[in-house]
Structure 1
Amino acid sequence: MTTKTTKSATAGKPAGLSKPAGPGDHVYLIDASGYIFRAYHALPPLTRPSDGLPIGAVHGFCAMLWKLLRDADELAPPTHLAAIFDKSEHTFRNDLYQGYKANRSETPEDLVPQFPLVRDAVRAFNVACIEKLGYEADDLIATYALEAKNAGADVTIVSSDKDLMQLVGPGIVMYDTMKNKVIDEEGVVEKFGVPPDKVIEVQALIGDTSDNVPGVPGIGVKTAALLIGEYGDLDTLLARAPEIKQQKRRENLIEFADQARLSRTLVTLDTQTPLDVPLAETAVRAPEPEALLGFMREMEFTTLTKRVAEGLGAPVPEGLDKPKKTARKKKDDYDHPLRQSPRGASGPSRDIAVQGGSPRELAAERLDRIEDIPFDRAAYETVTDTARLSELLEAAREQAFVALSVKRDRADPMASDVAGIALSLTPGQAAYIPMAHRAGDGLDLGGGPEIAQIPPVEALKLLKPLLEDEAVLKIIADAKPAMVVLGRYGIALDSVDDPTLISYALDAGRSDHSLPKRTAALFGHACLTEKEVVGTGKSAIPFDQVDVARATEAAGEEADAGLRMWMVLKPRMPSEGVTAVYETLERPLEPVLAEMERAGIKVDRAMLARLSGSFAQTIARLEDEIRELAGEDFNIGSPKQLGEILFDKMSLAGGRKTKTGARSTDAAALEELAAAGHDLPQKILEWRQLAKLKSTYTDALPAYINEETGRVHTRYVLASTTTGRLASQEPNLQNIPVRTKEGREIRKAFVAEPGKTLISADYSQIELRVLAHMADTPTLRQAFADGLDIHAMTASEMFGVPIEGMDPGVRRRAKAINFGIIYGISAVGLAAQLGIPRGEAAAYIKTYFERFPGIKDYMEQMKAEARHSGYVSTLFGRKVHYPEINTKNPSLRGNYERAAINAPIQGSAADIIRRAMIRIPGALRDAGLKARMLLQVHDELIFEAPEEEAEKTMKVAREIMEAAPAPALELKVPLKVDARAADNWEAAH
């Protein structure tokens, strides 16, 4: 859909007009409650500058409504318009099924006051505001839609709610304003696999987790569509269910037939809802400028108010441009290309860059403006000559910032070549430079056998000075893979801003930070998916075989989206206090990790093969023992069969039920049974652990050995966990167990090159040290200062026993409590871990808090902080958000509270090792050492160094790691790092 401005649909309509809908009319029905929630979760937080009132959803709603009235695009302007709200939670569906919508979480605290404000906004627009006690908005919309359709009018339902798709058909479409997309009958088929008149049948089978509609267990959308397509409707399907060949599907359809029928009733919209406001009274009326602009001025919507005033031909309200009181800005926060008018630039980027106001206002204003610039893939340019490329590079230098997308021919950046690079200088525009596209399997990529493109040597020769120029900011979403692959060409990316990491610093715990998800949330635009570009499965092709025109669309869109995301999110950082987090913990770590990934680590392939054979023998022995204990042959990997053995045949107690009604046989359930003295669950746990180690490591690792380097190159993910901990993937080297003999054997296969040694530098009990600092516990602080065995000291304090000659079992209990407290362990959890009665475990925890009252105070403080602010912070300012912590669901609330207790501890420890990693490469260079940092595994760093440099390398690593919090923070307890050198990882650890 293209965006165009049309004359206001409200022009000349007198207030209070009543006009029956009929042929030639166009009725718009806005799912207002649904839009409010969607706007709240999709748009950045926004508060009124004068008093901090949350207004983000109100602003989004007003912008949508104004655009709907002014810019109807290909849809006809509305002649009738109504915003329809949910009035109450209890409807006839709750009488039919008590569980209906019972699992919905509490409305976010900062959204609650925005509902009445949105109603006020609707009235200010002079639009009908409709709700009815005891009825859902969807039923009102359905009734109005059918009445309008029967009267001969066209209907557009402004919503993306799948429940409303059953109404789509001739004369009725849906319109998703956040994606600027019309949903017609074809769109419904794409969503459900069936036409609109069969949507109810599919929904009856699949249920709806958001509304707690049960459906039939085990049946998803694809299966439901196939079944309804074959049998025609739900009643016929249920009547003929015994004919279905798939046993589980047949059994579920027979067992849950009544549940499916109930679900159909719950999802069927009521088209006979009594209407208090006649359709004729929804006729579009012109807003009163004074009322509408007054409301917007009261909300302090600076840019939107000006835009509406201009559209209405009315003067801008007085006082709107008066500067708000803001904190004095720091030079480093604002002297940035983002705040400057680009030299020689024109068009949208200049218009966006010069906006003033507070950082939060700037972000909101930019979002308003950027939303009005369409994503037009057809507008992206393919650059195939060096003269044009040179022009673009010169423009980037003049502007001093450029967004890039570096496209590789395969997923692994260490085994990839650059297929092409896209750049974007202003939102809505992008250019793609194809370099190494090729025909494959007889494909015609455009241009015949000779594809028009700039050879990599020529293109990269022109690009390299810009990519390495510290005076030009390169904006690259998820920049690390680009750093790795460009490093293979001898290009060291410099001066990079990563919108993904900016998003992570701002919204850890409340947003998905990937470029496609963030683009959809911020701008309502769906980026091309990998499936759409390269395909999936066996039919997937490398990116360098993608048609150049299609590659231009995909790469250009990534660069364009990255630029927009950066422009909107970057200004938020100063006002939300996370600039230091991004600039000291996120941004500088990315190139360090890129170098670690490029370095990789050597793995002994022969040793892995021997281990795999040994594991296979042990697994076979365990399987024999398991079947003997079970008294029969069964599929050990089947949770269902295992549950039948344990709980039906052997009648073991325990085993909570899963959502499907079956007894759980997960690790926690088996550990509980094993702790009760049962042999079979213990053998199953051993079998699972060994089978996982074999499949995940000894069998899989050889496939990850790079052909060129002979080493394994894991990939690190920065924006994965909420607490700042790094994740490792392909392969994941952070989950190799260190406490089991088999896990330690696998670590032995990670070896140093000849003449070199591996060094492990590991923080000693860093999270307990952070806890001692944060809880300000004198006893623990003194114990760390004195270098005591902290677990023995804890046992001595709790149980009144001397440290000398302490029973190892007593120390083990104290250790379990020490680490359990960090994770908010309960008496139930501690009892299961130690194999003791729950009452005894509760007494241990009570004694612990009595001996260390500061820890209890810390825990309560963190829970209160999270409930009040929606987030907790690490010692270095990283915010970890828990937006749903005030839910009324006690189980979920408990989980969030435990996470809020742990996050500042684990997150601070993660921040400390990040600070160390950022400094270590420079420290090694300054010391004249050739050592390289290879791996990070939680609190441990792995280096490879020449044997003769081992001692000096360990000294540098210890010094940097132990002093990592300074100068930002001086811990009240000393950090301790243990370092050792050996020829393999296990021996070094």
Structure 2
Amino acid sequence: MKRLVLIDGSSYLYRAFHALPPLTNADGEPTGALFGVVNMLRATLKENPDYIAFVVDAPGRTFRDDLDPEYKANRPPMPDDLRPQVQPMCDIVHALGIDIIRIDGVEADDVIGTLAVQAADAGIDVTISTSDKDFAQLVRSPRDGDGAARGGIALVNTMSGSRLDSDEAVLDRHGVRADQIVDYLALMGDKVDNIPGVDKCGPKTAAKWLAEHGTLDGVIANADRITGKIGENLRAALHRLPLNRTLTTIKLDVDVGRSPTELVLREQHVEDLRGLYARYGFKQALRELGGEPGDGPRDAATDAGSVRNTAAGYARNNTAATEAPDPALSAPGEYECVDTRDKLDAWIARLQGAEEFAFDTETDSLDAMRANLVGLSFAVETGRACYIPLGHDYPGAPAQLDRAEVLEALRPLLTDPARRKIGQHGKYEMHVMRRHGVPIRGYADDTMLQSFVLNATATRHDMDSLALRYLGYATTKYTDIAGKGAKQITFNQVAVDDAVNYGAEDADITLRLHRVLSARLAEEPALEKVYREIEMPLVPVLERIEANGVLVDADELRKQSADLGKRMLEAQQKATELAGRSFNLDSPKQVCALLFEELKLPALVKTPKGQPSANEEALEAIADQHELPRIILDYRSLAKLRGTYTDKLPQMINPDTGRLHTSYHQAGAATGRLASSDPNLQNIPIRTVDGRHIRTAFVAPPGRRIVACDYSQIELRIMAHLSGDEGLLRAFAAGADIHKATAAEVFGKTLDTVGGDDRRAAKAINFGLMYGMSAFGLAKQLGVSRGDAQDYIGLYFARYPGVREFMDRTREQARERGYVETVFGRRLYLDNIHARNQGLRAGAERAAINAPMQGTAADIIKRAMIGIHHWLADHAGRALMILQVHDELVFEVDAGFVDTLLEEVVARMVGAAQLRVPLLVESGVGDNWDEAH
């Protein structure tokens, strides 16, 4: 069956513009969106479609504007950097021999829809290349009927690789059938197109209504039967829904002026393409034409380095621009299945001859501490990689090499510290390989961390996101080969052929990313130093901490769960007595109805949509006006502790080790702070008795003790260092209680007359200003008037003028550079520092003040962990580093080794940075974490 590809040109252009970094050629012309479009077009043409068209919107009004003057009225103008890329895009499309279609009075969607249905009815398979969900209404499977074949209509998102080609696929993605998509869109509305739907009707509600009533007409007919606020919203929107349906329906009868079979690919204008590719620096595309950079009329531009990166966050004059990746890095790779010993030996020879190689594992679980190895992949050159299947065990799976034999053959390479290994989030691979008896040594580079250090906020740092951003490459997604949801299979059940393409691609893309990201890091010496001296050395440290795990007393947690459950029941009973009726304390809707409608308490905190809130802040705001809000808060606190910790943690104990193993994330917080998950052990409350009580279940085994070492007031000390304020420096040098000293300065008292309330107020000021707190926020926290809070802030800055100067200087530097730095050179880019929206801009300015403190504190404890890890290596078995929680390190130590450990650990923590003020470390020892803290 022949195939027609219809390209949604606007979707291509905007998707590429937002997905890729802002690039320019040597002449400063923007090329980022153009680069993405060209790569997608090249990929599409390599599939050799029989017919193809590139459809774009015509300028001017359409019939929808006549139906609704507000249609698309709130769409922002095309970005300034995108507008000059439109004509070059059309020039390249035309030179490629692809017809460009634009029809006055309708949208590109209507032209595509008309051609798609005409072609499918004529027995042609249709692929619509788009990211627009509206096209889902056209999806249909091919079938035979009335003696004639009918083609299918499928949607393919070229950027993500996702595909919708059947009712089942549409239902899986959107929760409704293809023939219900128009009604689905009509109910939800579309903010982008300024189509108001039913207020608060999201995808789940729209899908639910259509499942119950079949069509929009059915929903309208049964509107009186739909209860609650959402029912009221539906009835209020009934007059609008028929128009919505018309606006969201794609026309299928546009006079296009040509038939689908006329849309054949014309002969390419090679010389025009060569000139365009040379001008815009598309090297790989130029090579495919048989030319090299410099062959075209703009050889000076290509010789100069062609495309240059101007990613957000660099200085406004772009003095730090760096060369973008070669488009060759976005080309498909060649991948080999290693299923014989001869092939394995050949690849081992390649690995032995390489200075560095990328590697990746495939397993049957995301839990590195329990995952079984299913396959290995390697790459020594970009575009070429292999996959070694080892554990695919589905019925009919082909023969595979023996896992033990393969691992033994690879052992000399993988355990050789002189062989540089490259990975993407390689800590996972290190766990898997260690557990399979082959510890990885020589782990030299990690693309996730390279990206994170370059710009923590530019993108997510998973492989799919990095490949799209830095290579313009859409990777194969796990769901593409393993399915989704309840039907998703584990990797050992994935067909070997699919596994080869997926697994080998991982190694290949890792190597490609490393080529690009290492070059960019080399141009930023301060960032490369952060990467080389902090982030990469930390990887084996965290791997060791995670593998060590922590011993947890499951019986103690179960006792605490029982106690929490009893107190929750008591709180429920008390709440029922106060309310005069039963209600669900876990339901915000029922709580709001009781507090604000029945009891008439003031709704002092609202949701973003203006409705009364029942969150913690809202209940705290009225807790002094009635006893019930406090009871609800207490109940929720108990429920959270029980659900998050006392019930859950015993279930997460590893049956093989008998210990709890968390996972630490280096590329989580933009400031560089480590995050913890599965379980998150960094958020156990410390300020409440119940929260602290949970730590009693983190215990030492017989003959051992728990030791905790915690930096004291480290961020305030960093503030003193960065600001150079003489008053703060003097107070810390003298070893004074900084909050008490601040209280004396601000309130004009002597140290011996500062009371507890004065100290608490000063502490709020110290930390509040560091986190950008306003006078309003400080007043709320202290329970004073806004005027008094403003006076406190004024007095603080009068006593500590260096702090104000530092804040002003930092904000100005952030505006000039687009980023701020830690003491060690880590950067935090502030994308909203020039935002027109005052709230976004203020948030970026607060981050500019706080990030250097938080980031420097993160860097300091990481440096300390690296030093301690190396020292502990010489004392294997006597002590383990088992937890990192914010500014605290926790150890499990032989009872007779505690004094030695304390001396050595404290010395390394104190020596992790040389600041203008001394670092102070507080420590404790106990049989459990709570005793030691």
Identify the TM-score tier after normalising by the shorter chain: 0.7 to 0.9
**TM superposition shift of 1:464:** 1.6
TM-score (norm 1): 0.81
- 1:379-528 maps to which residues of 2 (within 5 A)? 380-383=336-339, 385-427=340-382, 429-438=384-393, 444-446=395-397, 452-496=399-443, 497-519=445-467, 521=469, 522-528=471-477
Residue from 720, 726, 742 that aligns with 1:794: 742
CA deviation vs aligned residue, 1:911-965 (integer Å, no higher than 9, x gap):
1111111121112345789322111001000112222221221121122112213
Residue 555 (1) aligns with residue 503 (2): yes
Contact 1:467 1:494 in 2 (8 A): yes
Distance 1:750 1:25 in 2: 63
The equivalent residue for 1:113 is 81
Contact 1:643-1:663 at 8 Å conserved across structures: yes
SS in 1 for 2:883: strand
Q: What does residue 767 of structure 1 align with?
A: 715
Q: Does 1:364 align with 2:325?
A: yes
| Shift in Å, 1:689 | 1.3
Letter in 1 for 2:328: R
Q: How does 1:425-824 map to 2 (within 5 A)?
A: 425-427=380-382, 429-438=384-393, 444-446=395-397, 452-496=399-443, 497-519=445-467, 521=469, 522-529=471-478, 533=482, 536-537=485-486, 543-544=491-492, 546=494, 548-549=496-497, 551-576=499-524, 578-658=527-607, 662-674=611-623, 676-824=624-772
Instruction: Map 1:62-211 onto structure 2 (within 5 A).
Output: 62-64=38-40, 71=45, 73-76=47-50, 78=52, 81=54, 83-84=56-57, 92=65, 101=74, 112-123=80-91, 139-145=106-112, 158-166=129-137, 176-179=157-160, 191-192=173-174, 194=176, 198-208=180-190
Matched, 1:234 2:216: yes
Quote the offset at 1:202 in angstroms. Answer: 1.1
Q: Shift of the alpha carbon at 1:657?
A: 3.4
Alignment-mate amino acid for residue 876 of structure 1 = F
Identity %, equivalent residues: 37
Match of 1:751, SS state, is coil
Aligned to 1:56: 32
CA distance in 1, matches of 2:736, 2:824: 27
The alpha carbon displacement at 1:83 in A equals 4.8
Q: Is the Cα–Cα contact under 8 Å of residues 415 and 439 in structure 2 kept in the other structure?
A: yes
Corresponding letter in the other structure for 1:56: G
- Farther off after superposition, 513-522 or 303-312: 303-312
The residue identity in structure 2 corresponding to 1:472 is R
Secondary structure of the 1:959 match is helix
Whether the 8 Å CA contact 2:55–2:108 is kept in 1: the answer is no
Quote the Cα distance in structure 2 between the aligned partners of 1:931 and 1:597: 14
Summarize deviations over 1:883-906 as a string: whole Å, max 9, x none. 345443333443333333322221
Summarize deviations over 1:645-686 as a string: whole Å, max 9, x none: 121122222344335664211122222223x55432222222
Q: In structure 2, how many angstroms separate the alpha carbons of the residues matched to 1:901 and 1:546?
A: 49
Shift of 1:132: 11
Helix, strand or coil: the match of 2:107?
Answer: helix
**Which consecutive unaligned segments of at least 5 residues does structure 2 have?**
141-150, 309-319
Once the two structures are TM-superposed, the CA of residue 774 in structure 1 deviates from its matched residue by 2.4
- Could you tell me whether the CA contact under 8 Å between 2:449 and 2:531 is conserved in 1? yes
Could you tell me whether the CA contact under 8 Å between 2:711 and 2:887 is conserved in 1?
yes
- CA-based RMSD: 4.3
So what's the TM-score if we normalise by structure 2? Answer: 0.85
Moved more, 114-123 or 796-805: 114-123
Letter in 2 for 1:371: S
Give a deviation string over 1:151-199, Cα, whole Å, max 9, x none. 9899976532223444667797665443567766666566445565542
Distance 1:314 1:456 in 2: 50
Tell whether the 8 Å contact from 2:584 to 2:590 is kept in structure 1 after alignment. Answer: yes
The CA distance in 2 between the partners of 1:748 and 1:702, in whole Å, is 14
Given that 2:156 and 2:163 are in contact with CA atoms closer than 8 Å, whether structure 1 keeps it comes out as yes
Post-superposition Cα deviations, 1:446-482, rounded to whole Å, max 9, x if no partner, equal 25xxxx3333332221122111123333232221122
Q: Matched residues in 2 for 1:846 and 1:29: separation?
A: 61
Deviation at 1:73, TM superposition (A): 2.2
Distance 1:849 1:626, change over 3 A: farther
The one-letter code of the counterpart of 1:453 is Q
Matched residues in 1 for 2:873 and 2:488: separation?
43
* Range with greater deviation from structure 2 (739-748 or 778-787): 778-787
Query: How far did residue 503 of structure 1 move?
Result: 2.3
| Distance apart, 1:515 and its partner CA | 2.3
The corresponding residue for 1:956 is: 904
Q: CA deviation at 1:589?
A: 0.9
- Asked if the contact 2:447–2:514 (Cα under 8 Å) also holds between the matched residues in 1, the reply is yes
- 1:261: how far off? 4.8
Aligned partner of 1:122: which letter? C
* Conserved? CA contact 2:331–2:383, under 8 Å: no
How many angstroms apart in 2 are the aligned matches of 1:25 and 1:535? 28
Range with bigger deviation, 908-917 or 223-232 = 223-232
More moved, 501-510 vs 951-960: 501-510
Which residue identity does 2:84 align to in structure 1? Answer: P
Q: Report how many aligned residue pairs link the two structures.
A: 901
Q: Conserved in 2, the CA contact under 8 Å of 1:667 and 1:685?
A: yes
The residue type paired with residue 407 of structure 1 is E
Correspondence for 1:339: none
Q: Alpha-carbon deviations, 1:189-212, whole Å to 9, x = none?
A: 664455655422111223345556
Q: Aligned equivalents of 2:202 and 2:481: distance in 1?
A: 22
In structure 2, C-alpha distance between the alignment counterparts of 1:844 and 1:282, rounded to whole Å:
73
Q: In the alignment, is the contact (CA less than 8 A) between 2:708 and 2:888 conserved in 1?
A: yes
Q: Judge conservation of contact 1:93–1:100 (CA < 8 Å) in 2.
A: no
- In structure 1, the partner of 2:198 is 216
Q: Alpha-carbon deviation of 1:693?
A: 1.0
The answer to whether the 8 A contact 1:202-1:224 is kept is yes
Report the CA distance shift for 1:483/1:927 in structure 2 as closer, same or farther (over 3 A): closer
Q: 1:430 to 1:301 in 2, by over 3 A?
A: closer
Where do residues 31-42 of structure 1 align in structure 2 (5 Å cutoff)? Answer: 31-32=9-10, 34-42=11-19
